[in-house]
Structure 1
């Protein structure tokens, strides 16, 4: 089995596995695909460039693609794996230190992570998906529909069965950290480790190389890049001197996984800094560490003293009043934290599957411009004239409802997944009024800082409880590449909050 983790839903998934059948909702299109046919003895000419449309990597730092006439070399720069993709029917090339040789275009693929599945859907190659992991957590309506009739979930309760399922695929898109020795058809994708938000979305080009879908990937990513730049430019022009401070937070209740000791966390993933900055807001910095863990609620709250907006990513979803208690606030009327008094506490769980899977772990990775639009919407809710309703973020203080997606919401089972974003060029950004209630407590950013330094917190600089141990303050948490990958794997499979 690809992962050493066992899911509590595994037995249920095994029972839910549908028979393989075909769906007749639509016919898969070949538009935007190149070299869709295998070579034969009559056209097997190594001097002919089979891939005139190529993808160039602009932002992503964890993969590269090198093109040759009849094959491509795709490098995962994080795992140091090399995948040789050669046109079916052509002679298999010899590439030094190749991790896998995979004939293309792939017509039978599987994916363990929900993010990988969404990239395949965004490319419109979901007709080639044979198996999916964590199937009940899938939020995409059309992938849910395909899971009813065409795609078979991995039988995660039986490692032997999983191996057999994987062997029937041309390629298995997996995540590092597994213990399976059968890697001849495995390609690791680490889009969730990519530091920049646009770099994460650019992984669509990685997946496209396996399907000769470069034209589709280039067209999609160019539109994302252009729209993202428009949103960022407009937001930073309008909101340069009134930037609310945003903190990404997490509460972990006592459990066997943390020695029965609760902890509180502030996250500072690089991609989050990107979208907060580009949304015309400021990121609560964690003094250079990727995240800061607090062992007391007091230390945690002191760190949030100047925060205007909280985005809660706790593994478990709590009602607003219970969340405040978990954060150490029993009576919100007796505190003056801006994020409490204005009720600006959000959670990225607005879109869910019936099984509780979060859309947050799917489309936002692929569509950076839509994610930026959402961040602008919660940082500056009146950036459009009639107000903005976020796609993925739900206001807990307002008890906003969850939007449950089902297979019935799918209208075209084989169409390319549509980007949910608005066209930025058509939006007339509204100039903010500092006296508006939405900005209550937000300090004018006279220095134009893009980061609010958490080191200003007295609990870090000068703990007012002189008798307390160092554990009452902040604990820096730094993960090596493997640790990050493992946590990201758990996040993608179980729906846990990414760092």
Structure 2
């Protein structure tokens, strides 16, 4: 298992992305309990952000204010520059509009469901002061929590959460406080749509310039990788089964962003028309049907939940799927059985649900290597069960 380290900047694998972000005025964060760094100058930004790919938010600019429209829950957020008269006189907290003074002096995140890696990339982690769970993959956040700079707050304690300038939540059913802001990158349909939520957060911290530069670099890198994969796929297009075992049943995943990853990495997902069902391991006919489908597959990605990822081994998978180690299945013979639990935090929290959302180019680079192996690339998120 690969443990994440708090280094002050995130290691980005591709040179194009690394160079693009390196030129930005990065804020290194060592996780100390010192006072927060000076906030960005509170003026109307010369650079604005626009949602180019994301479906679920839009950003509008006025003189001394911004409006962020969240299409997922229908809420709008009025973001007022802290030097404006509006910031002194105006306060909204209704079922459809809330107001915030920006740049945020501090903020908290419902870390039980919301990624923090976007804040790391923006360089504003020093102003994070509250989390609702210490089960996070980010070592920087955990270090800050251990040093007392970040406090642990019960996610249901709206009164205590109200002390922060903003509290970011992904579960909009729990959006009860005047300072709660919905933040739902995981609800988008494609990897790039999810990654573009860095612009959404950038509006709250006057970090539009950095957010734009990071997303542009990620998108350029992602599309470059996808084009290279498409060229590889003209010679051979691997067939991929992305599957999951839950409560005695096997099923094929349907999340659109995962299917998009497979396509963008130059491979082909198993035909949905023959996989739109669940397969009971106690039913011999079901298992025969599942095995028949898997006979057509070159690569398997198994996303079965494991409380301790290190204990999920090849033998676990083979036993669950009732396949012998010496079987003639192509994915077994070719040692291509993968899981996305390689990169984890100290609390055994998968970075797949955090860093992989904000940096999809790393996931795509992994999958290109999975589908068209060279042996010259070390994957970040995917580990091969068949090669331990």
Q: TM-score, normalised by structure 2?
A: 0.82
* Displacement of 1:301: 2.9
Aligned pair in 2 of structure 1 residues 147, 244: CA closer, same or farther (>3 Å)? same
Instruction: Specify every segment of 5 or more residues in structure 1 that has no aligned partner in the other structure, as ranges.
Output: 1-21, 39-49, 254-261, 400-499
Mapped pair 1:349 → 2:323 = no
The verdict on how the C-alpha distance between 1:86 and 1:26 changes in structure 2, with shifts beyond 3 A counting, is closer
What residue is the counterpart of 1:415 in the other structure?
A: none
- Within a 5 Å distance, the mapping from 1:289-368 to structure 2 comes to 292-296=277-281, 298=287, 299-316=289-306, 317=309, 318-329=312-323, 331-333=324-326, 335-368=327-360
CA distance in 1, matches of 2:314, 2:336: 11
Counterpart for residue 21 of structure 2: none
Closer/same/farther in 2, CA of residues 153 and 97 from structure 1, 3 Å limit: closer
**Alpha carbons of 1:209 and 1:322: their partners in 2 closer, same or farther (altered >3 Å)?**
same
1:310-369 residue CA offsets vs partner (Å, 9 max, x unmatched): 11111124221121111122x232x32211121211111111122211111111100121
Matches within 5 A, 1:403-442: none
Q: CA contact under 8 A between 1:116 and 1:173: conserved in structure 2?
A: no
Structure 2: gaps spanning 5 or more residues: 1-30
SS where residue 59 of structure 2 aligns? strand
Residue 32 (structure 2) pairs with residue 37 (structure 1): no
**Aligned equivalents of 2:205, 2:96: Cα separation in 1:** 19
1:66 aligns with 2:52: no
Contact kept? 2:91, 2:98, Cα under 8 Å = no
CA distance in 2, matches of 1:292, 1:78: 28
1:115–1:365 contact (8 Å) kept in structure 2: no
Aligned partners of 2:208, 2:315: CA distance in 1, in Å?
48
Tell me what 2:158 maps to: 163
Structure 2 equivalent of residue 389 of structure 1 = 378
Q: Deviations 1:95-114 (Å, cap 9, x if unpaired)?
A: 89743111111121111146
1:226 aligns with 2:220: yes
Identify the residue that residue 14 of structure 2 maps to in structure 1: none
- What is the Cα-based RMSD across aligned positions, in Å? 2.6
Alignment-derived partner of residue 72 in structure 2: 78
- The DSSP-based 3-state class of the residue aligned with 1:332 is coil
TM-score (norm 1): 0.64
Do the aligned residues in 2 keep the contact of 1:84 with 1:98 (CA within 8 Å)? no
Q: After superposition, where does 1:157-236 map in structure 2 within 5 Å? A: 159=156, 162-179=157-174, 182-236=176-230
Q: Distance in 1 between matches of 2:222 and 2:83?
A: 40
Q: Deviations over 1:248-302 (max 9, x none)?
A: 111113xxxxxxxx2111113221222211211112232399x643334514333
Report how far residue 179 of structure 1 moved.
4.2
Partner residue of 1:278? 264
Matched, 1:110 2:103: no
Quote the Cα distance in structure 2 between the aligned partners of 1:278 and 1:307.
Answer: 18
Residue of 23, 27, 36 corresponding to 2:32: 23
The whole-number CA distance in structure 2 between the counterparts of 1:237 and 1:29 is: 47
Residue equivalent to 2:368: 376
Please tell me whether Structure 1 or Structure 2 has the larger radius of gyration of its CA atoms: 1
Distance 1:311 1:29 in 2: 45
Mapped contact 2:229–2:368 kept (Cα < 8 A): yes
Match of 1:123 in 2: 122
Aligned length: 344
1:154 aligns with 2:153: yes
Structure 1 residues 25 and 338, CA gap change in structure 2 (3 angstroms): farther
Q: Is the 8 A contact 1:202 1:221 kept in 2?
A: yes
Structure 2 match to 1:476: none
Contact in 2 for aligned 1:105/1:210 (Cα 8 Å) = yes
- C-alpha contact (below 8 Å) 1:191/1:203 kept by paired residues: yes
Structure with bigger RCO (C-alpha 8 Å, 6+ apart)? 1
Distance in 1, matches of 2:55 and 2:274, equals: 20
Matched, 1:267 2:259: no
Q: Is the 8 A contact 2:162 2:177 kept in 1?
A: no
* Structure 1 CA distance for aligned equivalents of residues 300 and 133 of structure 2: 29
How many angstroms does 1:145 deviate by? 1.2
Q: How much does 1:148 deviate?
A: 1.1
Aligned partner of residue 199 in structure 2, secondary structure: helix
What residue in structure 2 maps to residue 245 of structure 1? 239
